[in-house]
């Protein structure tokens, strides 16, 4: 009886020990790998080759270039009496956009026309008077010149006669004094003519200045009068103003009346995340997707200011715009930052930054599961990222967001 109890006790203790051992063994077993549906993930293959590093704009739009905008201001104070063309209309240089009216300008124009005619008439009158006076002086000078010539000749003759003894020295001296006196008078007369001619030129030049002033004033009023018919001046499209003018509105000099944009001179203004804009440089190639065609371009300006976490990068377009390209059209844009030769790369994972170490699932050779690996990556592009270590060419990895499986190192695929 006692032996029986002893065996039962031993069996009981053995069972307890076995149960404890089984419990410890079960506790040490790793949990079963979770199963992931293949249709819910996307994968990528590690490749070797050339990799273009690009940055993509968060937003972008077509905007006019600085040399493609013509703002048309009012040339004078006037009233808008008619609007002929509405924004969005294609216009030519001679297209009349609107009509203005200014009765005061018409009166000023008439007064300026009369003022120019009066100045021209005064010039002709002064010219006639001065020329008449000059002719009188020339006539008098001609008489003096004639007398001077005769007296000089007479003095020369008397000199010869005196030397021959025909006339007395007193007669010769008288003739010589008369010639000397006329010589002086002749020289003074010639100087007076020269001074008089110069004075005439000065007076006529002064009167010509009045004509020029009157003509300039008339040109100004004619230009302002022509400006009452507001013309486009260039070929393009009439753009809307932030504050459009209305019929009946009184405008002052300098008030913007219209704006014409040359559609063939547009650029792309791209909003680039601040964290990526630091790598952009002037002249880098870019591509602009207008959703109706892709246009090549290059970077021409990088705005130093940061607004809402982005910087504006201007891209000049190097090719023709496709049909339908207009200002304010939303576009997509990518900028080429660098070209890497003969590198390993793969598709860009959903989570992970460039120049970091990522934890990714590499698909097993039997294609039935995936094992977590540590991958060191380099520069990242829009869709691809450089692989520095942890993977080799031909490896396949899961690029989807796998953060829900952070606590496991292996998954099964079905």
DSSP string, 345-399: EEEPPSS--SSEEEEEEEEPTTSSEEEEEEEEEEEE-SSEEEEEES--TT-EEE-
Task: Specify the CATH superfamily of domain 35-63+265-413.
Answer: Efflux pump adaptor protein, beta barrel domain (2.40.30.170)
Tokens read off for 163: 């030397």
The answer to whether domain 66-102+228-261 has CATH 3.40.190.80 is no
Tokens of 38: 């293949």
pLDDT, mean over the chain: 85
Give me the average pLDDT of each 10-residue run along the chain (414 residues): 59 61 50 84 94 93 92 93 94 95 92 93 84 66 63 67 67 66 70 75 86 93 92 93 94 94 92 90 95 94 93 95 89 94 94 90 93 94 93 95 91 90
Q: Are strands 96-101 and 35-36 parallel, antiparallel or unpaired?
A: unpaired
Residue 316 near residue 49, CB atoms below 8 Å:
no
| pLDDT at residue 63, rounded to an integer | 93
- Of 100, 71, 98, 69, the residue nearest 85 (C-alpha): 98
φ and ψ at residue 36, rounded to 5 degrees: -120, 135
pLDDT digits (tens, 9 = 90+) for 266-306: 999 999 999 889 889 999 999 999 999 999 999 999 999 99
Q: What SS3 class is residue 56? A: strand
d(CA 80, CA 99): 6
Cβ atoms of residues 268 and 297 within 8 Å: yes
Please tell me whether the overall predicted TM-score, pTM, comes out greater than 0.85 for this model. no
Residue ranges in 37-87 assigned as alpha helix (H): none
DSSP classification of residue 34: P
What DSSP element (H or E) covers 289? strand 285-289
pLDDT at 231: 95
The per-residue pLDDT for range 96-110, each reduced to its tens digit, is: 999 999 999 989 999
- Give the number of other Cβ atoms within 10 Å of residue 230's Cβ: 26
Bridge partners (DSSP) listed for residue 380: 385
Please tell me the distance from the alpha carbon of residue 391 to that of residue 372, in angstroms, as a whole number.
Answer: 11
140-196: pLDDT as tens digits: 666 656 665 766 676 677 667 666 666 766 765 766 666 666 676 667 777 777 777
């Amino acid at each position: 009886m006692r032996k029986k109890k002893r065996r039962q006790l031993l069996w009981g203790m053995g069972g307890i020990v076995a149960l404890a051992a089984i419990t410890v063994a079960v506790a040490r077993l790793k949990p079963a790998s979770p199963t992931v549906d293949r249709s819910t993930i996307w994968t990528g293959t590690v490749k070797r080759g050339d990799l273009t590093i690009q940055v993509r704009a968060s937003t972008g739009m077509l905007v006019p270039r600085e040399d493609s905008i013509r703002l048309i201001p009012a040339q004078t104070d006037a009233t808008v009496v008619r609007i002929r063309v509405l924004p969005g209309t294609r216009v030519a240089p001679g297209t009349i956009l609107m009509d203005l009216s200014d009765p005061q300008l018409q009166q000023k124009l008439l007064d300026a026309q009369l003022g120019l005619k009066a100045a021209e008439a005064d010039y002709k009158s002064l010219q006639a008077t001065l020329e008449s006076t000059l002719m009188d002086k020339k006539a008098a000078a001609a008489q003096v010149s004639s007398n001077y010539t005769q007296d000089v000749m007479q003095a020369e003759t008397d000199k010869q006669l005196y030397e021959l003894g025909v006339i007395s020295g007193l007669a010769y001296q008288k003739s010589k004094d008369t010639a000397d006196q006329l010589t002086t008078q002749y020289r003074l007369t010639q100087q007076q003519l020269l001074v008089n001619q110069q004075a005439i030129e000065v007076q006529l030049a002064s009167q010509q200045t009045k004509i020029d002033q009157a003509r300039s004033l008339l040109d100004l009023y004619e230009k302002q009068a022509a400006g009452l018919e507001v013309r486009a001046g260039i070929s393009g499209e009439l753009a809307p103003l932030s504050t459009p003018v209305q019929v009946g509105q009184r405008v002052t000099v300098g008030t913007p009346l219209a704006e014409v944009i040359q559609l063939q001179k547009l650029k792309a203004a791209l909003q680039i995340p601040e964290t990526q804009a630091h790598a952009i440089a002037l002249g880098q190639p870019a591509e602009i997707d207008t959703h109706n065609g892709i246009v090549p371009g290059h970077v021409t300006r990088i705005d130093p200011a940061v607004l809402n976490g982005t910087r504006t990068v201007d891209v000049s377009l190097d090719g023709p715009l496709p049909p339908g390209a207009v200002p304010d059209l939303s576009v997509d844009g990518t900028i080429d930052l660098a070209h890497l030769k003969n590198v390993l790369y793969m598709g860009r994972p959903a989570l992970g930054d460039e120049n970091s170490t990522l934890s990714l699932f590499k698909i097993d050779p039997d294609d039935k599961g995936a094992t977590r690996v540590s991958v060191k990556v380099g520069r990242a592009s829009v869709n691809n990222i450089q692989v520095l270590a942890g993977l080799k060419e031909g490896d396949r990895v899961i690029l989807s967001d796998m953060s829900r499986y952070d606590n496991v190192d292996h998954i099964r695929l079905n």
